[in-house]
Amino acid sequence: MDDQARAMRVFSGIQPSGGLTLGNYLGALKRFVSLQESGVESIYCIVDLHAITVWQEPGELRFATRQAAAGFMAAGIDPGRSILFNQSQVSAHAELAWLFNCVARMGWLGRMTQFKDKAGKNRENVSVGLFAYPTLMAADILVYHATHVPVGEDQKQHLELAREIAGKFNHDFGVEFFPIIEPVIEGTATRIMSLRDGKVKMSKSDPSDMSRINLTDDADAIARKIRKAKTDPLPLPDSLDGLEDRPEARNLVNIFAALDDRDPGGVTNEYGGKMFSEFKPKLADLAVAKLEPVTSEMNRLMEDPAEIDRTLGQGAKKAAELAEPILAETYGIAGMIRSR
């Protein structure tokens, strides 16, 4: 490990609401595994407190939390090397979030596009938690003094806000306590798009199941979804320039590249001039070859929920040991008496 890796601490989170998608896998999980493999200290969190900012059926939340944990491990996160836990088991997250609620400004939160999209015209009736979502996210990261946050493109605005919160806290109290975090939004998979519309993100909340590949899909479902994916009638171009105004084609090339760990340019080099009728079966074979082992390992892990719970509990213990001294120091800076 080089000096730079030693000075880094990675934190990232995934919501346990609905299942994991190919977007989560390529945009987050696969990249988390590379970071773990490079030896960087990494903390990964299943953010159940974020999930409940919109209604979750308790039984489904419990299932989805275990399933997300299984997804992390099946993708290659080793709880012996990275810390893996669910957020609500480490109370420091919620405590620091409260302090940050008193640092962040209403205007900052009101400008968040995710809040505006999710609340829509219904602002008066959404939960207070949905509005305060980004302060909890800032707390998740900063309670560990994490330096780097690997995420997909859709999280960029939230991370900018986390930087603002850290900056305002440091400024208000005249300290250099919280690090200014670095979003890590890199690679070809930072924005995997819907299979039905190349202009919207692949998402677990899309009403059409055909728009996404779920990590629980079997080989037939994956092949069917790729076969039916929206494309255009033109052959693939032999360079990426030819994909500029072809979002659906660009998306399939990106998915191919990300699954196969290569540049999208290499994919257009190889398939330039070929029709989608030829490319799609190749993509489907690749997707099945890469995803099937993950899905079957997830299914195997899900057979023993008690073991998953134990793993999360052990991860939470390690996470709490890192977070508690930082939280205690934060309280001290803010003038709270700590006499225990």
Catalytic residue positions?
A: 118, 201, 204
Torsion of CA 171, 172, 178, 180, to 10 degrees: -40
Interface with ligand TYM in residues 49-88 (CB under 6 A): 50
Interface residue with ligand TYM among 8, 9, 10, 13 (CB under 6 A) is: 13
Closest contact distance (angstroms) between CB of 144 and ligand TYM is 10
| Sole binder of ligand TYM in the list 142, 192, 267, 291 (CB under 6 A) | 192
Q: Which residue is nearest to ligand TYM (CB)?
A: 27
Examine residue 93 and tell whether it contacts ligand TYM (CB under 6 A).
no
| Binder among 12, 56, 147, 311 for ligand TYM (CB under 6 A) | 12
Lay out the site mask for ligand TYM across 160-189 (x = CB under 6 A, - = otherwise): -----------------------------x
Using the minimum distance from each CB to ligand TYM, give the nearer residue, 260 or 270.
260
Out of 92, 202, 243, 301, name the contact with ligand TYM by CB under 6 A: 202
Q: How far is the CB of 274 from ligand TYM (least distance, A)?
A: 25
Residue 149 binds ligand TYM, judged by CB under 6 A: yes
Query: CA–CA separation, 88 vs 53, rounded Å?
Result: 13
Q: Tokens representing 82?
A: 């990275």
* Smallest separation, CB 160 to ligand TYM (Å): 12
Interaction of residue 155 with ligand TYM, rule CB under 6 A: yes
Residue span binding ligand TYM (CB under 6 A) among the ranges 69-77, 102-110, 135-143, 234-242:
135-143
Q: How far is the CB of 10 from ligand TYM (least distance, A)?
A: 10
For ligand TYM, which residue of 27, 71, 187, 264 counts as binding (CB under 6 A)?
27
Does 14 sit near ligand TYM (CB under 6 A)? yes
**Residue 301 token pair:** 């892990």
Nearer to ligand TYM by Cβ, of 54 and 270: the residue is 54
Which residue, 119 or 274, has its beta carbon nearer to ligand TYM?
A: 119
Give min distance, CB of 47 to ligand TYM, in A: 4
- Is 47 a binding residue for ligand TYM by CB under 6 A? The answer is yes
Phi, psi dihedral angles at 274 (to 5 degrees): -85, 150
Residue 142 in the binding site for ligand TYM (CB under 6 A): no
Rg over CA atoms, the chain: 21
| Pick 230 or 270: Cβ nearer ligand TYM | 230
**285 is a site residue for ligand TYM (CB under 6 A):** no
Is the Cβ–Cβ distance between 204 and 212 less than 8 Å? yes
CA 292 to chain centre: 21
- The residues that touch ligand TYM, with contacts defined as CB under 6 A, are 11-15, 23-24, 27-28, 47, 50, 137, 140-141, 149, 151-152, 154-155, 158, 189-192, 201-202
